């Protein structure tokens, strides 16, 4: 690892499935850090770059463009077609899982278990 110091406006980034996560260090000493998900697509990467540019300018209070909340990121993506397709698929998957759970419970009750 180099001796190059990490700037105060740096953030962590990682990929989990189809989600890019941007992790922000605590805003105050002893404070809590937070992470915000972005879709792993062109629009998500664009938003991450915009966020990092704002952090470099010094905007780092929670809820600012340099340290957004999950809600702010979701609102910025509300018109993104690919993101909405992903959300719809997740909702449908969750609904299917709930139905399977109910069917399994009903089957076990039939068996007397």
pLDDT tens digits for 32-82? 888 888 888 888 899 889 888 887 776 555 666 667 777 777 777 777 777
| pTM exceeds 0.85 for this model | no
Q: Which of 67, 28, 70, 20 is nearest to 46 (CA)?
A: 20
Q: How confident is the model at residue 6 (pLDDT cuts 50, 70, 90)?
A: confident
**Are the C-beta atoms of 77 and 30 separated by less than 8 Å?**
no
Question: Structure tokens of 81?
Answer: 């077609």
Residues in the chain: 113
Number of Cβ atoms within 10 Å of the Cβ of 39? 21
| Residues in contact with 78: Cβ distance below 8 Å, sequence separation at least 6, in sequence order | 84
Q: What is the pLDDT of residues 15-29, one digit of tens each?
A: 998 889 999 887 777
Phi, psi angle pair for 32, to nearest 5° = -100, 145
């Amino acid at each position: 690892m180099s001796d190059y110091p990490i700037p105060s406006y740096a953030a962590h980034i990682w990929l989990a499935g189809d989600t890019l996560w941007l992790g922000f260090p605590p805003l105050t000493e002893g404070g809590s850090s937070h992470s915000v998900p972005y879709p792993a697509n062109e629009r998500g990467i664009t938003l991450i770059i915009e966020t990092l540019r704002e952090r470099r300018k010094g905007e780092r209070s929670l809820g600012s463009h340099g340290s957004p909340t999950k809600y702010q990121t979701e609102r910025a993506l509300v018109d993104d077609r690919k993101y909405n397709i992903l959300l719809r698929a997740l909702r449908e998957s969750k609904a299917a899982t709930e139905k399977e759970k109910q069917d399994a419970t009903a089957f076990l009750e039939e068996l007397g278990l």
